[in-house]
Amino acid sequence: MSLAERLYLPAILGGIVITFKHLFKKAATVRFPEKTREISAVWRGQHVLKRDDKGAERCTACGLCAVACPAEAITMTAGERKKGEENLYREEKYATTYEINMLRCIFCGLCEEACPKEAIFLTDRIVETDYSRDGFIYGKDKLVEGVNERIDVTKRQTKQVLEFKQHKQLSHNK
Amino acid sequence: MMTEFIIYKLIMVGAIFGITLGVAAYSTYAERKVAAFLQDRIGPDRAGPWGIFQPLADGLKFMMKEEIIPVVSNKFLFVLGPCIAMLTALMAGVLIPWGSSITINGTEYPLQIADLNIGILYVFGVVSIGVYGIMIGGWASNNKFSLLGAIRASAQMISYEIAMGLSIIALILMTGTLSLNELSAQQAGGVGGEWNFWNIVYQPVGFLIFLVCAFAETNRTPFDLPECETELVGGYHTEYSSFKLAFYLFAEYINMFVSGAVMATLYFGGYNFPFMNDLGLDQNVIVILGTIALFAKIFFFIFFFMWIRWTIPRFRYDQLMNLGWKGLIPLAVINILVTGFIVLISAD
């Protein structure tokens, strides 16, 4: 090392100049409860189980989302639609229970990609914190959108997705 | 006359005690704020406007925490350790001349609690006793990490005390006094006939050595080896909790305040500010302005301590010892020789 390096002082001076400059820089902090961080329009947050135009649940409990899920966060049980429930469930088979463990979920969006019925989507809502592990297992009560409180997922339907849906010969879009 | 004297001294002691504790409390807040600003963050801002009640919240938290005295510890010494650390930290403030004399009804009231003619030696003596607080606390904990931390701390403080003392000798050779009050008075600034430079102009090397040693003496980064999470858990205060821990941490901030005051007094003109005698102001007003100037200097040094803390990473233990024994002590000795030579020549 040269004398200047062994003295430490030039290096220290350079260091304190750098830190002094940071004194006047804008803080990167977002004051969270008052302000939330701006997130992308296609943010992958809490899931929603969609209803169709008439208000019937789209999910048919085929289990493709559970198969696709790399974190194995999704479980469901299938049930048969009774007579008179046509306005509740779109097809003869539906999910009597549908649970996503939000502690396991990695929000990759593969469930959404696997779904042949356009039933599950990730939304820009952030999963809330909870005090117990049980609180993070979201059932149908939390996942299915309200009939009168539809959740807009059009932002997630990007140009590519809409283009893909044009091809009616593909089994995914039938 | 006697009662008046006692009342005046009591007021001075109370005021200095209060100011020292207040400054130390708000140093903890300033430390967090400065750290935040230097790292592009905001820092504590929830307790009151801009978080100014944060020190109260921190203090309350310390008081509310469970107080643990380990069964294997030496209980008397375990309690004595933080008391010594706090006591010695507070004792050093007695000698600082916070301003020159205020004149009320013809009586002079010096803004200094005690003007010892060996002022600097007293400060050094008290600071040296501060090592015992750490040493006793670390030993009494009966914990390996505490003991190792205490050994490190005392080795570091004793090593750097030597260089610190040597750096002062050069200053004393030059000024010819040990009294802090006289040292301040010698640096009085004014253009009309009595134009004195601050001692930093004559003793830049001495100041640099003193500054580095002050960092080591107060256990501040880059010399904060006594505390080390990766090697020593919490260092000498591993076993401490609640208010006894607060005492140790608080003593560090008081030490910072006091060493800032000592540096300002020794090298940066104390309560003097440039052109103080040319403003044509009343003497009492100048004294008050001088006290404000001294506090401005002290606050700058406290800021500097924090500024360095968030700039430089810590030394390794062998680097610390190398710098102290092979770097600063020879440099201080050379500084004494050069100063002595110049004083000898200019005396003829």
What integer pLDDT is reported at residue A75 of this predicted model? Answer: 94
Look up residue B55 and give its two tokens: 């020190």
Nearest to A28 among B38, B40, B310 (CB): B40
Q: Percent helix, strand and coil across chain A, each rounded to 5?
A: 30, 15, 55
pLDDT, tens only, B268-280: 888 888 777 777 7
What integer pLDDT is reported at residue B175 of this predicted model? Answer: 85
Average pLDDT over residues B150-174: 88
Distance from CA of A81 to the nearest CA of B (A): 54
pLDDT, tens only, B9-62: 888 889 889 999 899 889 989 999 999 988 888 888 888 888 889 989 988 988
CA proximity to B254, closest of B112, B87, B122? B87
What integer pLDDT is reported at residue A78 of this predicted model? Answer: 92
Partners of B37 on chain A (C-beta within 8 Å) are 22-23, 27
Q: Is the pLDDT of residue B194 over 70?
A: no
- Tell me the whole-structure pTM to 2 decimals: 0.79
Q: Kindly compute the dihedral angle of the four CA atoms of residues B263, B131, B311, B146, in this order, to the nearest 10 degrees.
A: -170
What integer pLDDT is reported at residue A172 of this predicted model? Answer: 62
Nearest to B40 among A12, A18, A22 (CB): A22
What 3-state DSSP class applies to A30?
Answer: coil
What integer pLDDT is reported at residue B109 of this predicted model? Answer: 80
Strands A74-80 and A137-138: unpaired
* Whole-angstrom distance, CA of residue B10 vs CA of residue B97: 16
pLDDT, tens only, B290-323: 889 899 999 999 999 999 988 888 888 888 888 8
Dihedral sign (CA B251, B252, B255, B256): negative
Strands A137-138 and B101-104: unpaired
Beta bridge partners of A121: A48
Closest chain B residue to the Cα of A16, Cα to Cα: B311
* Whole-angstrom distance, CA of residue A59 vs CA of residue A21: 56
What integer pLDDT is reported at residue B157 of this predicted model? Answer: 86
Kindly report the average pLDDT of chain B as a whole number: 85
What integer pLDDT is reported at residue B315 of this predicted model? Answer: 81
B15-24, B58-67, B192-201, B333-342: least confident range: B192-201
What integer pLDDT is reported at residue B130 of this predicted model? Answer: 84
Q: Are B28 and B57 in contact (CB under 8 A)?
A: no
Tell if the CB–CB gap between A15 and B311 is shorter than 8 Å. yes
Give the confidence band of B71 by pLDDT, cuts at 50, 70, 90.
confident
B171 burial via Cβ count (<10 Å: 0-12, 13-18, 19+): buried
Q: Are B214 and B172 in contact (CB under 8 A)?
A: no
Give the confidence band of B195 by pLDDT, cuts at 50, 70, 90.
low
Asked if the C-beta of A15 comes within 8 angstroms of chain B's C-beta atoms, the answer is: yes
CA proximity to B233, closest of B127, B149, B347, B299? B149
Give, in order, the Cα–Cα distances in Å from A55 to each of A62, A87, A139, A160, B303.
20, 7, 19, 27, 64
Tell if the CB–CB gap between B311 and A12 is shorter than 8 Å. yes
Asked if the C-beta of B307 comes within 8 angstroms of chain A's C-beta atoms, the answer is: yes
Distance from CA of B58 to the nearest CA of A (A): 21
Tell if the CB–CB gap between A25 and B312 is shorter than 8 Å. no
Nearest to A19 among B36, B42, B307 (CB): B307
Distance from CA of B198 to the nearest CA of A (A): 22
Closest chain B residue to the Cα of A21, Cα to Cα: B38
Q: Percent helix, strand and coil across chain B, each rounded to 5?
A: 70, 0, 25
Asked if the C-beta of B37 comes within 8 angstroms of chain A's C-beta atoms, the answer is: yes
Distance from CA of A130 to the nearest CA of B (A): 23
What integer pLDDT is reported at residue A72 of this predicted model? Answer: 92
The per-residue DSSP string of B154-218 comes to HHHHHHHHHHHHHHHHHHHHHH----HHHHHHHT---SSS-----HHHH-HHHHHHHHHHHHHHT
- For A:23-82, CB contacts with B below 8 A are 23, 25-29, 31
What integer pLDDT is reported at residue B299 of this predicted model? Answer: 92
Segments in chain A below pLDDT 70:
158, 171-174
Distance from CA of B165 to the nearest CA of A (A): 21
Q: How many CB atoms lie within 10 A of CB B205?
A: 15
pLDDT, tens only, B114-142: 888 888 888 888 888 888 888 898 888 88
Tell if the CB–CB gap between B311 and A19 is shorter than 8 Å. yes
Locate all alpha helices (DSSP H) within chain A, ordered by sequence: 3-6, 9-22, 64-68, 110-114, 140-143, 159-165
Give the confidence band of B231 by pLDDT, cuts at 50, 70, 90.
confident
Beta bridge partners of A97: A77
Partners of A16 on chain B (C-beta within 8 Å) are 307-308, 311
Average pLDDT over residues B80-103: 86
Tell if the CB–CB gap between A28 and B37 is shorter than 8 Å. no
Residues in Cβ contact with B214 at an 8 Å cutoff, skipping those fewer than 6 apart:
B164, B259, B262, B263
Nearest to A22 among B38, B42, B312 (CB): B38
Chain A contact probe: residue of B46, B211, B221, B311 with most A CBs at under 10 A: B311
Partners of A14 on chain B (C-beta within 8 Å) are none
Q: Is the pLDDT of residue B326 over 70?
A: yes
Asked if the C-beta of A10 comes within 8 angstroms of chain B's C-beta atoms, the answer is: no
Give the confidence band of B193 by pLDDT, cuts at 50, 70, 90.
low
Residues in Cβ contact with B35 at an 8 Å cutoff, skipping those fewer than 6 apart:
B41, B43, B306, B309, B310
Nearest to A29 among B41, B307, B312 (CB): B41
Q: Could you tell me how far CA B84 lies from the centroid of its own chain? A: 16
Q: Where are the beta strands (DSSP E) in B2-114?
A: 101-104, 107-110
Distance from CA of A3 to the nearest CA of B (A): 12
Average pLDDT over residues B158-177: 88
Average pLDDT over residues B169-177: 87
* Whole-angstrom distance, CA of residue B33 vs CA of residue A158: 44
Closest chain A residue to the Cα of B304, Cα to Cα: A16
Place of tokens 């306005």: A87
What integer pLDDT is reported at residue A125 of this predicted model? Answer: 86
Q: Where are the beta strands (DSSP E) in A4-134?
A: 47-49, 74-80, 93-101, 120-122
Residues in Cβ contact with B110 at an 8 Å cutoff, skipping those fewer than 6 apart:
B97, B100, B101, B181
Asked if the C-beta of B35 comes within 8 angstroms of chain A's C-beta atoms, the answer is: no
Distance from CA of B293 to the nearest CA of A (A): 23
